[in-house]
Structure 1
Amino acid sequence: MESILPTTSFSSSSKSERRSKSKSSQTSKPSLVMALISCFAWLYVAGRLWQDAEYRMVLGSLLKKNSEQRPKMLTVEDKLMVLGCKELERRIVEVEMELTVAKSQGYLKNQLKHSGSSSGKQLLAVIGIYTGFGGRLRRNVIRGSWLPNVDALSKLEERGVVVRFVIGRSPNRGDSLDRNINEENRETKDFLILESHEEAQEELPKKAKYFFSSAIQNWDAEFYVKVDDNIDVDLDGLIELLQNRHGQNSSYIGCMKSGEVVAEEGRAWYEPEWWKFGDEKSYFRHAAGSVLVLSKNLAQYININSASLKSYAHEDTSIGSWMMGLQTTYIDDSRLCCSTSGQGKQQSVLIGLNRKDVILSRLARTTIPFVFIGAYHNSKMETSCFIPRYH
């Protein structure tokens, strides 16, 4: 009886263990399935959130772009500002049109200091003789030949012709060079001093701007003439030449020439910007720099546009380039061509003579000390030209 009881209890315990194991295995399967489902759900939600973030970024950029393109709401102050800007813009256009009309009618930057002759009539010509600080001897020779003295200058202006030596200022303002010119001008009263120009050989193209601008601001004339100080002029002949051109506007008068553009540095007449003149390397047609004449409207053009006009290495080609873009009448007058012989004197306006002969004959009429005569006599003589009277 006792031996049977343990066996029965053991079998009952094993049955209960099997039942508990089967129950635990049955409960673990649903939990595993739920865990898998929750993982899939988490991945799905995370993916959707990532997509939503991308969509929000794209949508935000589109909204920003649309907001920039969309017209903004203007306040009353903004509208008034816009209207004011439009009114100001309209006024600027009107002023530009008025300025264009004023330029075409002869606008001058400054009021004329001398409207013309004392009779109130327009001058025939303003003649500027280019000179330098070392040109005292040449100036005295000219004063002893074709340039009148102080009293005669006033009478000449009554005839409608103003003649002045043209010179700039020293790079060292107020030095002995400037003081000597000021003193000479007080004695002779025949200078046009370009206060804004620095006198130097390499600055000659700019000197043309300052001369024509200053001349037209000081005198109202029909013609403006530039002459070198190694030119001997029969003044009556030059006046007659200009009188024959009376009423010819837009006239660019001189000995017209062209020629090779020198591209080799170190050679005479070297042009640093030679490449601008094309493959042929030839200058455009222009008047020789010894004597050239511009009518009033062309001189006005230089005066008004001097700040923007391009200057080349040489004065004559610079002036010629300024004339190319205008409705300019080119007058090639062979009588203004300088030659070195006396042939054709009756036909030519400029006759070349040996400078030694001219200088010594002119010096005899001046009060220059003999030491200067000897110094010039022994120096290298150049070609000089003069304008004879018409016959």
Structure 2
Amino acid sequence: MGVSRPQKAANGVSTRWVYVFCIASFFLGVVVINRFWAIPDPLDRDKVSPEKHRSEEASFQTGDILSQVSQTHDVIMTLDKTISSLEMQLAAARAAKGDSEEASPVVTKLGTENLKARRKVFFVMGIITAFSSRKRRDSIRETWMPKGLEHKKNYSTFLSSTSLWFEIGDGLLKLENEKGIIMRFVIGHSATAGGVLDRAIDAEDEQHKDFLRLNHIEGYHELSSKTQIYFSTAVAKWDADFYIKVDDDVHVNLGMVGSTLARHRSKPRVYIGCMKSGPVLGQKGVKYHEPEYWKFGEEGNKYFRHATGQIYAISKDLATYISVNRHILHRYANEDVSLGSWFIGLDVEHIDDRSLCCGTAPDCEWKAQAGNPCAASFDWSCSGVCKSVERMGEVHQRCGEGDEAIWHTSF
């Protein structure tokens, strides 16, 4: 047994010297803090009792710390959103490059120019519709969709007229320019491209200028695919903070929707809607039958949490994620289930906002009187406003926020 020697750290520095450096750093820190710490005026201190001074000092320090914590949290959230956005843009660029390699030079050039020319907006609202839903679209144009300044016809006139010319375009243009809100009816094309159904939509679009046409063959059992293509198309066309999907038999208050989304604007990955977890229906012939029911476990199990399909919103990063990965995202029979499944395993914040699934009157009226106006209203029994063509005007009158609300709401 010899004399013990000082141990050395892994980098060859003696442990004794490490202790010396630590102690020296501590005292140096104390000296620096004492040198630069603000010293109050002795004259002012004499005017305040020691107890009151200590209380005020503690209060000031607590408030200052809370303020700094709040500011730090805001900075972190902003950085997180920026980093996430850059990552998704990089992924989108890679995907676009991969797609463009298979396209002709002309198509590639046009696609690149369109991506560069994307307009920055607050949110895009896609109203999912079908060829047979002309009257539903007209009921929305006559009620909660912003109208042109000279469009003052009443709803009874609308119901009795089949040749009513809507001055919708002015209202939508004003909405885009002043509020950064894009609204479009979303529809694909028929199995026989250029047929009578497609020509009817072309004529309607020429009249109203309020359609977003998809490269998609329409069909009830293709809603998951249509939803996926809608988000991909909207992301390529507009650079929005949020992208919304809504059915054409739902009543919407745009001002309330905008206020709801504005509260979550700083978050990078949000999925907003009325969250539910319904049963998986494996029995054939029933509505909402799920052919792949076996994937969800034993009989009687429920789906994972997802937003009900009448209306929901997703942030830009999630819409971009759908666009980038559209070729490998699995589509279930029900589109709301499909959307929820695409976010399983991702770092996504699910926001359950019940103002997006109010009932029609009297439910929407009671909530408005209680100070909780609804962003969207429909009847659960019909998965939309029951007899929406006949009742949308009544629902708008009783549940609406007022036609001028959207113009007076700041986001």
Fold match by TM threshold 0.5 = yes
**What does residue range 170-181 of structure 1 map to in structure 2 within 5 Å?**
170-181=190-201
Structure 1 position 141 matched with structure 2 position 160 = no
Label 1:316 to 1:213 Cα distance change in 2 as closer, same or farther (>3 A).
same
Aligned partner (choices 172, 184, 196) of residue 153 of structure 1: 172
Q: Once the two structures are superposed, what CA deviation does each residue of 1:61-82 show, in whole Å capped at 9, x if it has no partner? A: xxxxxxxxxxxxxxxxxxxxxx
The answer for the alignment partner of 2:326 in structure 1 is 306
Label 1:114 to 1:289 Cα distance change in 2 as closer, same or farther (>3 A).
farther
TM-superposed deviation, 1:363: 6.3
The answer for the alignment partner of 1:168 in structure 2 is 188
**Does the 8 Å contact 1:209/1:306 carry over to 2?**
yes
SS in 1 for 2:201: helix
Partners of 1:243 and 1:114 lie apart in 2 by 25
TM-superposed deviation, 1:197: 0.7
Q: Runs of 5+ in structure 2 lacking a partner?
A: 1-85, 97-110, 147-167
Q: Once the two structures are superposed, what CA deviation does each residue of 1:114-147 show, in whole Å capped at 9, x if it has no partner? A: 8455xxxx31100000000001000001111111
Q: Once the two structures are superposed, what CA deviation does each residue of 1:334-365 show, in whole Å capped at 9, x if it has no partner? A: 1112435522422343333694786446569x
TM-superposed deviation, 1:322: 0.1
What is the percent sequence identity of the aligned residues? 39
Q: Once the two structures are superposed, what CA deviation does each residue of 1:212-259 show, in whole Å capped at 9, x if it has no partner? A: 000000000000000100011121221222222222210000000001
Structure 1 position 222 matched with structure 2 position 222 = no
**Does the 8 Å contact 2:187/2:212 carry over to 1?**
yes
**Does the 8 Å contact 1:167/1:193 carry over to 2?**
yes
Label 1:133 to 1:312 Cα distance change in 2 as closer, same or farther (>3 A).
same
Rg: which structure is higher?
1
SS in 2 for 1:260: coil
SS in 2 for 1:264: coil
**What does residue range 16-165 of structure 1 map to in structure 2 within 5 Å?**
103=88, 105=90, 107-108=92-93, 109=96, 110-111=111-112, 112=114, 115=117, 117=119, 122-148=120-146, 149-158=168-177, 159-165=179-185
Partners of 2:193 and 2:358 lie apart in 1 by 35
The answer for the alignment partner of 2:251 in structure 1 is 232
The answer for the alignment partner of 1:259 in structure 2 is 278
Query: How many pairs are equivalent?
Result: 268
Question: What value does the CA root-mean-square deviation take over the aligned residues?
Answer: 2.8
The answer for the alignment partner of 2:367 in structure 1 is 345
Q: Runs of 5+ in structure 1 lacking a partner?
A: 1-100, 365-381
Query: TM-score normalised to the size of structure 1?
Result: 0.63
Partners of 1:113 and 1:339 lie apart in 2 by 40
Aligned partner (choices 205, 210, 234) of residue 224 of structure 2: 205
Query: TM-score normalised to the size of structure 2?
Result: 0.60
